[in-house]
Amino acid sequence: MIIAALIFTVSGLFYATAPPEGLSTDQLEIIMTPTQSGLLMSDLGGGHQSGTADPQLWNLFLRPQGAFILLLLATHVAVLWRAARNWTEVELPVASAARKSASPNPSLSTWFSNSVEGIRQGFGGVFHAQAKNAQFVVAMLLSALWPGVAMNGYDVLGTVLAMVAMTFALAAAIRGVRTDTEARHTISVGIFAGWTVVVGFAALASLMITRMGVDTNIAIMACVALATICVILSQILTGGVPSIIITVMLVLVVIAAATMQTDPTQATAAVLGVAAMGVVLVRESS
C-alpha cells in the first residue's frame, strides 16, 4: 500500500505543478467571494476573454488554486496517513512471528527452520492485510494513472478509469466500515473516496461537453445530480462515517459561492446537491 500511496502522491504533485498548454492562470482561480470576478465552471466551458477556453473540468481539482488546494492536500495527507498506518500493521506481524519462532540456543538447522516458518507465518499476515486493502490500492493506482491517459488525448479511456477508481475507492470505504475496528482508518479512506467522486464526475462532465456536445450547464447539473445520488448511497452504506459526504459537500459549497453571480444555474445545482446530502447526513448521524 505504501508504494501505491507514494505513486499517487508523486503523480498528483506532477499534475498539480505541470502547467497545461493554452490555459491561462486566471482560468484556474477559485474566488471564494462572489462579488469578485471570476469563476470557472462557466469560464472553462464557455470561454474566457483573457485566455483559451479549457473544457477539461478536472483541472479544477488536479491543478487547483485557492480553496481546492486544501482539498488536494487533505486527500494526499489522508492517503499517506492510511498507508503509514498500514505499514505498521503489516510489518509488525512479520517481526512478531520471527520473534516467536526463535529459541534461546537453537542449532543451525532448528534456527533456519524456525526462521523460515516465522517468515512464512508473518507474510501470511501481510498478504491477508493487503488483500483487505486491495480495493484501496487499486483505487490509488488508477487515480494516479487516469489523468495522464486523459491528458494525452484518450479522454474516453481516462474517464472510464476515473469512474472505476471512484468505484473501488467507495467500495474500500464501505468495506472499511464493515471490517475495521478503528473508524479513523475509514475516515481517511473516505476523504480519498470523496475526492475520487469529485474528479470522476468532473471528468465525466468534461467528456459530455467535449465528445457529446452537451451544453456546459446541463452536463454540470447532470453530474452534480449523479454525484449527489452516489454519495447519498455511500453515506447510507457507511453509516456513521461522514468523510465522503462532507468532502463532496464542501466542494459544492465552494462552487456555489463562486458561481452565485456568474452562473446562477450551476450555483443552484450545487446548493440543491448540498441540501440533499445535508438531509441524509443529519438523518444518518442521528
CA distance 79 to 81: 5
Determine which of 141-155, 180-194, 219-233, 245-259 has the lowest per-residue pLDDT on average: 180-194
Question: Residue 48: pLDDT above 80?
Answer: no
Whether 52 and 96 share a structural domain: no
User: Residue 43, CB half-sphere, CA atoms under 13 Å: how many?
Assistant: 25
pLDDT at 36: 31
Question: Residue 9: pLDDT above 70?
Answer: yes
| Cα–Cα distance list, 102 to 8, 91, 94, 232 (Å) | 38, 17, 13, 51
Four-residue CA torsion sign, 118, 124, 130, 132: negative
> CA nearest 60: which of 23, 10, 35, 34?
23
Mean pLDDT score, 90-119: 52
Whether 106 and 138 share a structural domain: no
pLDDT at 45: 37
Whether 10 and 96 share a structural domain: no
Owning domain of residue 158: 2-15+23-83+133-285
Instruction: Tell me if 247 sits within 8 A of 188, measured CB to CB.
Output: no
pLDDT at 228: 93
pLDDT band at 38 (very low <50, low <70, confident <90, very high): very low
More confident residue, 224 or 57: 224
CA distance 75 to 80: 9
Whether 223 and 272 share a structural domain: yes
Whether 54 and 145 share a structural domain: yes
pLDDT band at 39 (very low <50, low <70, confident <90, very high): very low
CA distance 131 to 205: 33
Long-range contacts of 256-261, Cβ-Cβ distance < 8 Å, separation of 24 or more: 257/32, 257/33, 257/34, 258/30, 258/31, 258/32, 258/34, 258/38, 258/39, 258/40, 258/41, 259/34, 259/39, 259/41, 259/42, 260/34, 261/34, 261/35
At 50-85, the pLDDT tens digits run 333 455 788 888 888 778 888 888 899 988 888 887
CA distance 201 to 166: 9
Strand partners, 51: 48
Whether 155 and 258 share a structural domain: yes
Whether 97 and 77 share a structural domain: no
Whether 140 and 122 share a structural domain: no
Whether 122 and 249 share a structural domain: no
Last residue in a domain, options 96, 131, 166: 131
| Cα–Cα distance list, 122 to 2, 99, 117 (Å) | 18, 10, 8
Domain count, the chain: 2
Last residue in a domain, options 97, 131, 165: 131
Mean pLDDT score, 37-58: 45
> CA nearest 62: which of 162, 135, 168?
162
pTM exceeding 0.85: no
Last residue in a domain, options 68, 96, 131: 131
At 116-175, the pLDDT tens digits run 555 555 544 544 455 567 888 999 999 999 998 988 888 899 999 999 999 999 988 887
Residue that the C-alpha cell 481539482 belongs to: 61
pLDDT at 44: 38
| Cα–Cα distance list, 67 to 31, 33, 194 (Å) | 8, 11, 16
pLDDT band at 234 (very low <50, low <70, confident <90, very high): confident
Whether 215 and 105 share a structural domain: no
Which alpha helices (H) appear in the chain, and where do they start and end? 2-17, 40-46, 59-62, 67-101, 108-132, 134-151, 155-179, 183-210, 216-238, 243-259, 264-285
> What backbone torsions phi and psi does residue 48 show, to the nearest 5 degrees?
-145, 140
Cell triple for 286: 442521528
Whether 7 and 45 share a structural domain: yes
Whether 35 and 140 share a structural domain: yes
CA distance 118 to 181: 26
pLDDT at 275: 92
